[in-house]
Chain A
Amino acid sequence: MVTPTASWRVETRTRASSLFIVAAIVIVVAGLVAPAFIGRGMLRDLFFILTMLVLAQSWNLLAGYAGLVSVGQQAFVGFGAYTMFACVSLWGINPVSAIILAGFAAAALSVPTGFFVFRLQGAYFAIGTWVIAEVVRLSLAQWKALGGGTGTSLPSGATRDLAIVTWIGEAFGVRSSHAVDILTYWLALVLAVLAIGFIYAFLRTRQGLGLAAIRDNSEAAGALGVDAGRLKWAVYLSTAFVTGLAGALIYVQTARISPDAAFSVIDWTAYVIFIVVIGGIGTIEGPIVGVLVFFVLQNMLADYGSWYLLILGIIGIVVMLFAPRGLWGLFADRTGIQFFPVRRILAGGSSSSKSDAS
């Protein structure tokens, strides 16, 4: 019998991940100063990529880690967006504060909806979330002050007259509409970094370990005292918050809302699912790879209308059947590289052997 010596320790860091932290900081700093060098078109593309990444990361936490396959996340995108619109158009709150409020509103909405959908298991949970999204959409379509079924636009000056937008406009020497794009892009970048940081930090905590344990063997995890119900609630609530923030931010930039667009299952759930599945479900790297692939495909196939979704759907099915861990899974299996390691590794000691203890 080998007694563990002090030189053994449990680590989650790998060499690749330590290098990656440096690279990530460089990428984020480059992202922050980018508006000085790139045009509006590219700014909008990056905004799209970043917001889809946030939605993908939060869906990935929900489905890939907590096993809660939702096809109703558009409920929180739309509700966040509508809350932001109500705050700005009806109550005169400034759009940036309204985004934060929208996040809390989406989290608040998830309490009653969770109460219903957690009564359903597995696949029925999925369709239950969809029903909830439909109910929220149909209810908000009755809100005549926000345009009912046809929707409405943000008051024209709402974002342009913000002090920070004026400041950005002067600092970069650009017109106010361009300055709004810079602001929303920055917010998207901050949101993406915070969302990924939050998810990564969460997965490295004891609760995150508990989540992985439930995924691998829920009975054994329960026997060790992991409270699956509470953890799933926590994930459902926090992803609703992040999704609501992203929804509100997207519609600050779009500045026009309608129930059909804000609660679109294609835009806010189907795309997100394909991003995560193609990139690699159950990893943080997966959605990042997925969103880039998705963006390239979208640009390549932009002129082909419904062929685009058709091809995306087929790729999604093929990946799920033959490479269920996605592109990142294929890459990581061959190279062993992990940028966001959450697996506990027993390291050090007298021998160089390493064993997994995830």
Chain B
Amino acid sequence: MIWLDTIVQGVLLGGLYALFAAGLSLVFGIMRLVNLAHGDLIVLAAFLILVLVTTLGLSPFVAILVAAPVMFGVGWLLQYHVLNRTLGDDILPPLLVTFGLSIVIQNALLEGFSADSRRIPAGGALETASVNLGQVSVGVMPLLTFLSAIAVIVGLKRIFYATALGRAFRATSDDPVTAGLMGIEPRRVFATATGIAMIVVTIAALYLGTRANFDPTIGPARLIYAFEAVIIGGLGSLWGTLAGGIIIGVAQTVGAAINPEWQILAGHVAFLLVLLFRPRGLFPRATD
């Protein structure tokens, strides 16, 4: 049953990648902005949680209740004061500014926390606990990650389609000028969207930091996984993003089971194959 086990682990890992990707997808969907610093913001949030856990002695699950509003603020200010200036027809400014931001965050973290590998202590029992699901046993943390990914997607969909804020998001995404005439201020809507994306980032950071070691330089790789999940799923589809995350996750665990050196490569190859045969992703919705 080793293969079944491998695939189940891969699916659960896919939940983590879907969490990485959900924030990226949200921001892209609303303002067509691809944030190259997304992975580094996840790592930043992980360090924030780590500091809260180690200095205040909080449980990580309590710490994110503090970290999430802080990250919301960071995202709001970043979007309102910096990234909003880059939006427009030209794709260069947003790409180059967020790329610069990625380098700045990485090196600021290196300066503050050194290059050592860290891990957020999740409280001994939880880290090792597992549940038996018929033939395979799965860790509680991976299972929790996967369930959180589903909860985040359901939550985002609810915000999008059942609240006034979501209506503002969709209106601004369709036509910012007309939305402006209706009393919506696109700059603030964008800032709020990035703030919400940062809350998702904080949740992703919790699981990134408790499941495995992290250091200031691993952000770009997380960005790449998130991006692959988004493209595989099809732009604009949140459930597709989960499917994309699962495909990357399964490809990685299966690749690693064959040869540990192939883990990352297998994920990338799966992505390239989807790009080759379904260039618009598995569940395409948006046109760009």
Contact = CB atoms under 8 A, between A and B. Distances in A.
Contacts of A127: 34, 36, 223-224, 227
A313 B103 contact: yes
A71 B97 contact: no
A66 to B, nearest CB: 12
Interface in B242-288: 261, 264-265, 268-269, 271-272, 275-276, 279, 288
A121 B275 CA distance: 12
Interface string B186-201: 0000000000000000
B268 A306 contact: no
A69 to B, nearest CB: 5
Contacts of B223: 127
Contacts of B91: 67, 69, 122-123
Q: How large is the interface on B (under 10, 10 to 19, 20 to 34, 35 or more residues)?
A: 35 or more
Nearest to B28: A123
Interface string B96-109: 11011111101110
Interface stretch (A18-26, A176-184, A314-322): A314-322
B111 A307 contact: yes
Given A127-B34, A131-B228, A138 B99 contact: no
A116 B95 contact: no
Contact of A313 (B82, B101, B271, B272): B101
B168 interface: no
A310 B105 CA distance: 8
Given A69-B92, A116-B272, A314-B104, A124 B264 contact: no
A309 interface: yes
A230 interface: no
Given A310-B111, A317-B104, A130 B82 contact: no
B86 A310 contact: no
A135 B268 contact: yes
Interface string B24-53: 000000000110100000000000000000
Nearest to A63: B92
Given A131-B224, A312-B103, A281 B92 contact: yes
Majority-rule SS of B interface residues = helix
Interface string A277-313: 1000100000000000000000000000111111011
Contacts of A114: none
Contacts of B92: 63, 67, 69, 281, 320, 324
A142 B95 contact: no
Contacts, number: 117
A313 B100 contact: yes
A222 to B, nearest CB: 16
A135 B262 CA distance: 11
B110 interface: yes
B180 interface: no
B261 A317 contact: no
B93 interface: yes
Contact of A124 (B231, B272, B276): B231
Contacts of B265: 135, 138-139
Given A139-B265, A314-B104, A119 B97 contact: no
A320 B36 CA distance: 15
A138 B264 contact: yes
A270 B104 CA distance: 11
Nearest to A307: B111
Interface in B110-130: 110-111
A120 B275 CA distance: 9
Contact of B82 (A131, A134, A273, A317): A317
Interface of A: 63, 67, 69, 71, 116, 119-124, 126-128, 130-131, 134-135, 138-139, 141-142, 149, 265-266, 270, 273-274, 277, 281, 305-310, 312-314, 316-317, 320-321, 324
29 contacts: A124-B34, A126-B95, A131-B227, A131-B228, A134-B224, A134-B268, A135-B269, A138-B268, A266-B103, A270-B99, A273-B96, A277-B96, A277-B100, A305-B110, A305-B111, A306-B107, A306-B108, A308-B107, A309-B103, A310-B108, A313-B100, A313-B102, A313-B104, A314-B104, A316-B100, A317-B104, A320-B93, A320-B96, A321-B85
Which 9 pairs from chain A and chain B are nearest by CB? A123-B34, A313-B104, A313-B103, A306-B107, A310-B107, A317-B100, A316-B100, A306-B110, A138-B265
